[in-house]
Amino acid sequence: MPVNSFEHYPMSWKPDKKALKRPFYKSLASLLEQDILNGFLASGTKLPPQRELADFLDLNFTTITRAYKICEVKGLIYAVTGSGTFVAPNASRSITISIDKTANLIDLGFVASFEQTNAIVKDVFHKVVDKSYLEQLLNYNDPTGIPHQKTAALNWMESFGIHADQEHVAIVSGAQNALAIALAALFEPGNRIATDLYTYSNFIELAKIFHIQLVPILGDQFGMLPEELEKQCSQINIHGIFLMPSCSNPTTVMIPEFRKQELASVIRKHRLILIEDDIHAFLTAGIISDYEQPMFNLLPEQCVYICGTSKSICSGLRVAFMVFGDALREKILQAIFNINVKTSSFDAEVITELILSGKAHEIVSQKKQLAKSANDIYSEYFPLNETVGHPLSFYRWLPIQGHNDVLQLETDLKRHSIRVFHSDRFLSGQTTPDKYLRIALASTNSLDELKTGLKILKQYLNPKKQKA
Amino acid sequence: MPVNSFEHYPMSWKPDKKALKRPFYKSLASLLEQDILNGFLASGTKLPPQRELADFLDLNFTTITRAYKICEVKGLIYAVTGSGTFVAPNASRSITISIDKTANLIDLGFVASFEQTNAIVKDVFHKVVDKSYLEQLLNYNDPTGIPHQKTAALNWMESFGIHADQEHVAIVSGAQNALAIALAALFEPGNRIATDLYTYSNFIELAKIFHIQLVPILGDQFGMLPEELEKQCSQINIHGIFLMPSCSNPTTVMIPEFRKQELASVIRKHRLILIEDDIHAFLTAGIISDYEQPMFNLLPEQCVYICGTSKSICSGLRVAFMVFGDALREKILQAIFNINVKTSSFDAEVITELILSGKAHEIVSQKKQLAKSANDIYSEYFPLNETVGHPLSFYRWLPIQGHNDVLQLETDLKRHSIRVFHSDRFLSGQTTPDKYLRIALASTNSLDELKTGLKILKQYLNPKKQKA
DNA sequence: CAATTTGTGGCTACACATTTA
DNA sequence: TTAAATGTGTAGCCACAAATT
């Protein structure tokens, strides 16, 4: 029997003692999961401390620890030593972001890539199907890419500062696919990966699939703070780190060279595996003055560099390049064979042809121009703070106030024909008081439609000013 | 201190007590892993019982359990209640099978798909690039397939007995990719999946990646034995089952209708999730008299049906169809978005065009003809046992004797310019006394090359007869 | 800065199921 | 058939680390 009565000290969660079956820890975890998914326990709710709940249920407190752990690994709750256990921000729903053309909405949510440039790609298809070696693209050969395709890939990445050889590059089916391969190849369930407080939501979901725990690290305008990373690394066992130095998703933060060096030194010291998603390299290298090199160059033996072509060249062709050190090579190749077998050599050939013919550069400059225009339009509605963020980003990070109910805000805006995502979707760990919206600029059918969307959004967020 | 001295009772493995650091269980697991990977402990070696080792190391025996468990999940060892713990057959190497054109070998190892038919595919490419809607294939839209592509897919599968609607089919990047998606979507680390004793080696590796334990189930000439499945299910908690009813890889066993019914009833009773890999449907439906329907029809709500087009139509275009019940739909779609984002709409369009134009059927009949010829050639060298196995299989399962050292046999044959895989690569669990070779018939550049290969192989396996 | 709260991780105890002899 | 051997799974105990007060 419990020693104390808890009737006077209300606990936020009082599971029915009679509903508990053996094994207790599984049964309790499933009760908690149900109550969270059914909405009885809202995001951010503090759960009873382990010892208190144990006393209430007349169990040993480590049995509660076990139950809480199950829910934590599922991403339903998170625990902070010293302060307690809380219901996670995105506990009750998936935050995977995918395209959605079913409703007739102005899409400021999913980040596409100014699909207007795809007309240029069309021509190249004709050229590729007339190649004499077309038939050689249709078999199982060269699962990581045909040599001349890899050469083109290396050529493409050279302008971003990447230097590698044929043995240390592989062609995979898009950047997201590369992330899945990296997680499968290099991490195990229960491993921890450091990320920015706000990070790419599909990476969060991917981590959930592989049961990898994300450890949010504080940052400033220059990206993740090295001393915060150092602190976490010295406290708990962290295995990897995920960064998008050229332009973080969703915050648009660029990491300058000095910060890259500092971070690299912490990463080196603690032997973390760095996953560098450089999907925005084409918007940054040679354009932004601070940009010197990818972090891969600083840590070649403990880094996977991922360069997707969906944002820069063509989204429908699912092609990305992975570059990796020799120490990681074998594992990554195995994971590629097991998850993809190979990537369509035809798709890779079209990308190759686009690169070699110079059309890829043409597309990139068109996309840059479109990004410039879209950002100009954006700044008409929401003036940019000059000191923060990438000027050509395909999305913007808009601070908002007084809209704490994420689901409500997104739903409300849908009623106004706008699809947009709230910052809580991008939270890698606990919730924060600051709230934002990520506004995709590259997904509308035209810049005019973008204008319409931003106008509606502004009116919604700030109705008084608009009326005046 | 240990109570007994073990100097007189030699244990197969005596870890150095002094090398143990805290935490003991991790330290011990890593010692064991090292000794297995370095070859000090050979496949099949019986490890000391948990209690005995605990006594020797002066630890509690459940600490040993933990250490053993870590290695078991990694696939290094396997435990059998009552009889002990043993080093796994494929502990010290990856058994992923991928194409390898680097050496100049006759490939009887990797199963390709008579790539001679790819010339037919070439023509269709020209037709597709001239489509008016080509540009619509180059964006992020329709991540699970464009409606008319799904219609073609359903059309294609209808002849195999599959009936489903647009909402319950998705296009993914090949059958192996579909398996990865199914495992990611529907299972968790530590879950168990029942398989045949010998099963598709890349599925074994995929299970390792996702930390899913395979439970080998005995079978006979008609496939897995329902009573054996029932026995395992009632003993331990099994979550899923993997079957290739049309033609098991590597054994070429076909499951007849009566056995499908029996298995389905056990699967239904224990609510297993069935992963049905029907990559050989095109060789079976309408050809083999026993074939009536896929198991998906018997268990539509708890089955993922996977129909790859790499073996039947074209291997270089990475396209497979997944069909699933409503209960599994949401999870599978999420996994597709997270692992692939989407599959190239262009590749899917080529497959669609091949299906709609009837060229796919033309390819299939050519492949069947080639398979027939290849099997005829095979039977000249190794007479077929009429009662077992698929007559048109792209590979054969050859019983051998006296070649227990897998690595040695494969290496020896490589020296004779033959690439071939030993049955141990396909073992889902403990080792067996019977030994086989899987002989791929669909991967040589010509049927003549196949003849040469089989001749060398026969000579190697049976030198005396050859001399006579 | 010390005491307290709260979570983490590792080792032990033990009941139980299956297999083998 | 029974006893012994052997692995499985759950719960409890405890030292400790971090954060809060």
Whether the predicted pLDDT of A212 surpasses 80: yes
Find tokens 């073609």 and name the residue: B152
* Confidence at residue B466, expressed as pLDDT on a 0 to 100 scale: 45
Q: Is A309 left (phi over 0), alpha (psi -120 to 50) or beta?
A: alpha
Position B8 scores a pLDDT of 38
List helix spans (H) across B1-99: 24-37, 50-57, 61-73
Residues A224, A299: Cα–Cα separation, whole Å: 17
B242 within 8 A of B210, measured Cβ to Cβ = no
Phi, psi dihedrals of residue A21, rounded to the nearest 5°? -120, 165
Nearest-by-Cβ selection for B211 from A119, A138, A189: A189
Name the CATH architecture for the domain at A134-356: 3-Layer(aba) Sandwich (3.40)
Residue nearest to nucleotide C12 (CA to C1'): B60
Question: What's residue A97's pLDDT?
Answer: 80
The alpha carbon torsion through B151, B153, B154, B158 (nearest 10 deg) reads: 140
Q: Do A139 and B188 touch (CB under 8 A)?
A: no
Instruction: Centre a 10 Å sphere on the Cβ of residue A248 and count the other Cβ atoms it contains.
Output: 27
Residues of chain B positioned with their CB less than 8 A from the CB of A138 = 115, 118, 121-122, 314-317
Q: Measure in Å the smallest separation between the Cα of A206 and chain B Cα atoms.
A: 6
Q: Is the dihedral of CA A423, A424, A425, A428 positive or negative?
A: positive
DSSP class of residue A455 equals: H
Element (DSSP H or E) covering residue B47: strand B46-47
The owner of tokens 């600490």 is: B63
Q: What are residue B241's DSSP bridge partners?
A: B194, B274
Listed range (A1-10, A351-360, B163-172, B352-361) with the worst mean pLDDT: A1-10
Query: Picking from A81-95, A331-345, B361-375, which range would have the lowest pLDDT averaged per residue?
Result: A81-95
From the list B121, B139, B344, the residue facing A347 with the nearest CB is B344
| Per-position pLDDT tens, chain B of length 468 | 333 333 334 678 888 888 888 788 888 888 888 888 888 888 888 888 888 888 888 888 888 888 888 888 777 888 887 878 888 877 766 777 878 877 789 999 999 999 999 999 998 999 999 999 999 999 999 999 999 999 999 999 999 999 999 999 999 999 999 999 999 999 988 788 999 989 999 999 898 888 888 888 889 999 999 988 888 887 778 889 999 999 999 999 999 999 999 999 999 998 899 999 999 999 998 888 878 899 999 999 999 999 999 999 999 999 999 999 999 999 999 999 999 999 999 999 999 999 999 999 999 999 999 999 999 999 999 997 766 789 999 999 999 987 777 778 899 999 999 999 998 889 887 667 788 999 999 999 999 999 999 999 999 998 765 443
Per-domain boundaries in chain B = 17-87, 106-117+361-467, 134-356
pLDDT at B5: 36
Cβ separation A98–B206 shorter than 8 A: no
Give the three-state DSSP class for B296.
helix
Copy the structure tokens of residue A413: 């805006």
The pTM of this model reads 0.92
More confident residue, A238 or A108: A108
CA distance A26 to chain B (A): 14
Name the residue type at position B10.
P
pLDDT of residue B464: 66
Residue partners of A379: CB distance under 8 A and separation at least 6: none
pLDDT at B24 (0 to 100): 85
- In terms of CA atoms, which chain A residue is nearest residue B209? A184
A383 touches B: beta carbon within 8 Å: no
Count of residues making up chain A? 468
Residue type, B57: L
CA pair distance B356, A251, nearest whole angstrom: 46
Cβ within 8 Å of B, A 190-229: 202, 205-206, 209-211
Closest CA to A206 of A238, A174, A253, A166: A174
Q: How far is the CA of B49 from the C1' of D6 (A)?
A: 7
Q: Give strand D nucleotides closer than 7 A to any protein Cβ.
A: 4-14, 17-20
Nucleotide nearest to A79 (CA to C1'): C7
The reported pLDDT for the residue numbered A79 is 83
Strand B435-440 vs strand B395-400: parallel, antiparallel, or unpaired? Answer: antiparallel
Nearest beta carbon to residue A334 from set B96, B211, B347 = B96
How far is residue B122 CA from its own chain's centroid? Answer: 30
CATH architecture of A17-87: Orthogonal Bundle (1.10)
| Mean pLDDT of the A117-141 span | 94
Total residues belonging to chain B? 468
Q: How many angstroms separate the CA of B49 from the C1' of D4?
A: 14
Q: Domain B106-117+361-467 carries which CATH code? A: 3.90.1150.10
- For A33-101, give the secondary structure using H, E and C: HHHHHCCCCCCCCEECCHHHHHHHHCCCHHHHHHHHHHHHHCCCEEEECCCEEEECCCCCCCCCCCCCC
Question: Is residue A51 pLDDT above 90, yes or no?
Answer: no
Which pLDDT belongs to residue A430?
67
Q: Do A318 and B340 touch (CB under 8 A)?
A: yes
Write down the pLDDT at residue B258. 95
Tell me the Cα Rg of chain B: 24
How many other CB atoms are found less than 10 A from the CB of residue A52?
Answer: 16
| Residue among A135, A206, A315 minimizing CB distance to B140 | A315
Alpha helices in A159-271 (DSSP H): 175-186, 201-209, 226-235, 257-269
Q: Do B98 and A345 touch (CB under 8 A)?
A: no
Confidence of residue A233 (pLDDT cuts 50, 70, 90): confident
* Inter-chain residue contact A189 with B184, CB threshold 8 Å: no
Average pLDDT over residues A188-199: 87
Burial of A348 (0-12, 13-18, 19+ CB in 10 A): buried
CA of A20 to C1' of D6 (A): 31
CA A376 centroid distance within chain: 25
Q: Which residues of A touch B335 (CB under 8 A)?
A: 209
DSSP A272: P
Mean pLDDT, chain A, whole residue set: 89
